[in-house]
Amino acid sequence: PHLTESYGSSQDPPEKETPSCTVKSFPNAINHTIEWSRKQFENLFIKPAQAVNTYLSEPNYLESSLKYSGSSKEQIEQIVSYLVTDKPLTFEECIIWARLQFERDYNNEIRQLLFSLPKDAVTTSGQPFWSGPKRAPDPLVFNSSDPTHLEYVIAAANLHAFNYGLKGERDAAIFRKVADSVIVPEFMPRSGVQIQVNENEPVAQADDGADEIEDLKLKLPSPSSLAGYRLTPVEFEKDDDTNFHIDFITAASNLRAMNYKIEPASRHTTKQIAGKIIPAIATTTSLVTGLVCLELYKIIDGKNKLEEFRNGFINLALPFFGFSEPIAAAKKKYGSTEWTLWDRFEFANDPTLNDIIAWFKSNHNLEITMVSQGVSMLWSSFVGKKKSEERLPMKFSKLVEHVSRKAIPPHVKQLVVEIMVSDEDGEDVEVPFLVVQI
């Protein structure tokens, strides 16, 4: 502390990303289908519920937020679907939704792809399009006797029910009975659908017709008519085997693999890839723990010179053991004051935002322009006069609860706060985080 840079001061090289067109239309490895299913998990059980809640809680959400989005029609359709047309009242309706979702993702979408790019399609050079890493898919026909088909419906229905606070079910016979009775609408592939063939091509954007958007808006209930109503977004947790998260991702990925004749993966392998689990061997873990404790002894012993500490680099497979002097914490400056990542401004007794702003002005001649805590922007110099008059006199803990709409847990005694400030010349200045005791 106060000597070296932290573990977070340096960054690992970025992971190699799979091109979006490969994940979306041309997977050729199980990693691609797992990545696709992970995105489906977010697109079905996290983002729609968040969008619905934002619509219900933020005034003028459609006008202020969606006008800056390139896919406003798609977003409004999603809110209409989750709040009106496909809003389930019973768990049986969740099963029907899951069965139709299966049809869309593993049959209709594949038929549309093959309509746009038939199996006998050729490139501009006359070569078969479906060759090399590009595998021509086949649509799946739902069969409730197929374990993977049924596992998908069970997991998807339960997660959909979780979004709406409905009680789930695990009896396979119930799912089989309902899924087999669903009347699936006839699907006709559409002409003119553009498929992104390589990552250098622009992603095809849907035509957001103004009239269609207005028609969709008319279908939405006003937020005031659903005061207090909220959906519950799923929070991905890979280590709970009862929450259907890994069950859904495994089934969704393996169904996608069946489409493209890719070898399916076990639940364990899927969990490892989807959860980005890095395998660790006990011998390495214990050695690292020992090296950390050696450095901790130095701190307890009162050592305070940089050269007395060590960074360790080890590889038991070689074996290799290397030690070096750590890098000093980078120094930054505001005015004539130097600081490092270890420094903090501390405020006691749950001050108001006004108190904090005045303290910075009088003690450092710095003007606060923005205050944020966690993911919540608490105040900024460009918010309206009414919001400023409401928030500036608030005790800090009350302000955080007011903006985040969440109670601060009883065990939390302090809040880490980030601020943006400018000096007397109007130039932005970087300063340490604030720690506010509440």
Distance CA 282, CA 255 (A): 35
Please report, rounded to a whole number, the percentage of residues in the chain having pLDDT higher than 70: 95
Distance CA 164, CA 48 (A): 12
Asked if the model's pLDDT at residue 207 lies above 70, the reply is no
172-178: which pairs have CB atoms within 8 A and are 24 or more residues apart?
A: 174/95, 175/95, 175/144, 175/150, 176/144, 176/145, 176/150, 178/92, 178/95, 178/96, 178/99
In the predicted model, what is the mean pLDDT of residues 114-128? 91
DSSP class of residue 328 equals: B
Distance CA 276, CA 238 (A): 10
pLDDT of residue 11: 79
Asked if the model's pLDDT at residue 335 lies above 90, the reply is no
Asked if the model's pLDDT at residue 258 lies above 80, the reply is yes
- The length of the chain in residues reads 438
Which residue in 21, 114, 182, 408 is the catalytic one? 21
Distance CA 35, CA 24 (A): 10
Give me 72's structure tokens: 């406003």
pLDDT of residue 151: 97
> Which of 71-75, 373-377, 428-432 comes out lowest in average pLDDT?
71-75
Give me 411's structure tokens: 């065990």
Question: Quick check: is 21 catalytic?
Answer: yes
pLDDT of residue 192: 85
**Residues whose CB falls within 8 Å of the CB of residue 73, separated by 6 or more in sequence, listed in order:** 206, 208, 209, 212, 213, 216
| Residue whose C-alpha is closest to residue 356's, from 418, 275, 264, 292 | 418
At 216-229, the pLDDT tens digits run 777 888 888 887 88
At 95-111, the pLDDT tens digits run 999 999 999 999 999 99
At 133-145, the pLDDT tens digits run 999 999 999 999 9
Asked if the model's pLDDT at residue 205 lies above 70, the reply is no
| Gyration radius of the chain's alpha carbons | 27
pLDDT of residue 10: 81
Residue 228 identity? G
At 150-160, the pLDDT tens digits run 999 999 999 99
